[in-house]
Amino acid sequence: MEQVTNELRFHYTDTVINELLTIDATEHKPCTLHYDHNENFFLNLEKEFTVPHLPIHHDVRISEPRAAYLEPIQHFLRNLIPLVPQVFAGLTFFFDPAEILRPSFFQLFKVQEQYFLYLLRIDLVFKTHEGEIVGRGTNDSTPEYRTRRLFLERDLIPLEQVDVVNGKIRTFLIKQSISQTWIGETGRGYFVQGIWMDNELTKFFSKLFLPKGKRTYPYYPFTCKYRTICHSLLRLDGEGRKQHIKWLIDSIRFILPEIESIQNALKNDEFSENLPYFQNLKEKIPPELTQCWESLKVHQYLNDRDMREFLLEF
């Protein structure tokens, strides 16, 4: 799957992996939710798993993976999925030629006439000190390593439409509700950098629906991605995904009439809970849209390397 403007293109799936994903949706194995010091989300599993050597190079113009890539991925998932079956139940695998070290999965939901895409990507890039290397890498392959930490991204994305050709999904068209997130440049010459308001919009959206005084850094429930309002999940099982869709629908319904004013409020100021427009809008939030986040707790701690990490309870 690749992104082109507001499209996510679906290229290739694998029947062997999809068969592995046909598991009991009610089976749950324990895991905990964390962020590392770089704000990367991961699940800490009860047991270690091994990430095999994987080829580094792939021509992005080739939409189908080579056997040298697909076979170790199949073996890896055969061992990983039983460790957290609730995370993978009901999903479909797809190969993204631009993201070969982030195997990807999706589930499509339709609520009335609105489509939503649940997009899960697992990150298999070895992170220093996050696992034990058992086989050195080369110029052509990644190292083999063991870890209990499964790094991933998990987003709900509102869609405009789903294009199907000969009974097969080909394109997901994102429903973009944000006109523009680029607001200018800073620096000179080679040091010119763009200024984008994506992070500020993410903070604005999330703080609107979090209870007053609730501190959840580095987790933000509602994010600005793909020029739309996405939702980052905490409950990754099938029932949890459905519950998160409801929360996203309710939030979008409230935000959309205000989206242009929100963008204007952030063009000249960084986000702050003291912004008058934010405070006025916050007072209008129905209590039921914040109550679901009351139980969320984020605990900061130091890991065994004295690095800051975060444990989420929800």
> Which of 142, 174, 206 is where one domain is finished?
174
| Residue 37 domain-assigned (yes or no) | yes
Task: State whether 13 and 157 are in the same domain.
Answer: yes
| Residue 305 domain-assigned (yes or no) | no
Tell me if residue 106 falls in helix, strand or coil: strand
| 30-44, 116-130, 185-199: least confident range | 185-199
Report phi then psi at 208, rounded to 5: -55, -40
Task: State whether 170 and 188 are in the same domain.
Answer: no
Mean pLDDT of 72-89: 98
Q: Can you give the pLDDT at residue 68?
A: 94
Q: Can you give the pLDDT at residue 206?
A: 98
> Across-strand partners of 263?
none
Task: State whether 156 and 93 are in the same domain.
Answer: yes
Task: State whether 161 and 244 are in the same domain.
Answer: no
Q: Can you give the pLDDT at residue 203?
A: 96
Distance, CA of 155 to CA of 166 (rounded, Å): 27
| Residue 297 domain-assigned (yes or no) | no
Share of the chain above pLDDT 90, in %: 79
Task: State whether 270 and 166 are in the same domain.
Answer: no
Q: Can you give the pLDDT at residue 180?
A: 63
Tokens linked to 105 = 């999965």
Q: Can you give the pLDDT at residue 186?
A: 41
CA-closest candidate to residue 216, choices 225, 207, 226, 227: 207
The answer for residues whose C-beta is within 8 angstroms of residue 116's C-beta and 6 or more apart is 108, 109, 110, 156, 157, 158, 159, 245, 248
pLDDT in tens, 3-13: 546 888 888 99
Task: State whether 42 and 77 are in the same domain.
Answer: yes
Tokens linked to 218 = 């580095």
- DSSP for 178-234, please give it: ----EEEEES-GGG-EEEE-HHHHHHHHHHHHSPTT---TT--SEEEETTEEEEE-S
Distance, CA of 262 to CA of 284 (rounded, Å): 14
Tell me if residue 78 falls in helix, strand or coil: helix
pLDDT in tens, 26-56: 999 999 999 999 999 999 999 999 999 999 9
Q: Output the CA torsion sign for 88, 86, 114, 249.
A: negative
Distance, CA of 30 to CA of 212 (rounded, Å): 31
pLDDT band at 165 (very low <50, low <70, confident <90, very high): confident
Task: State whether 239 and 128 are in the same domain.
Answer: no
Tokens linked to 262 = 């929100």
Asked whether the bond before 143 is cis by omega within 30 degrees of 0, the reply is no
Task: State whether 121 and 248 are in the same domain.
Answer: no
Q: Can you give the pLDDT at residue 108?
A: 96
| Residue 154 domain-assigned (yes or no) | yes
Task: State whether 151 and 206 are in the same domain.
Answer: no
Domain residues for the domain of 211 are 184-291
> Which of 105, 140, 174 is where one domain is finished?
174
How many domains in the chain? 2
Mean pLDDT of 284-311: 96
Task: State whether 62 and 207 are in the same domain.
Answer: no
Q: Can you give the pLDDT at residue 191?
A: 44
| Residue 35 domain-assigned (yes or no) | yes
| Residue 309 domain-assigned (yes or no) | no
Query: Could you give the dihedral angle defined by the CA atoms of residues 15, 18, 20 and 22, in that order, rounded to the nearest 10 degrees?
Result: -130
Task: State whether 90 and 189 are in the same domain.
Answer: no
Q: Is the pLDDT of residue 141 over 50?
A: yes
CA distances from 136 to 20, 56, 64, 304 (A): 28, 13, 27, 24
Q: Is the pLDDT of residue 86 over 60?
A: yes
Task: State whether 131 and 212 are in the same domain.
Answer: no
| Residue 314 domain-assigned (yes or no) | no
| Residue 96 domain-assigned (yes or no) | yes
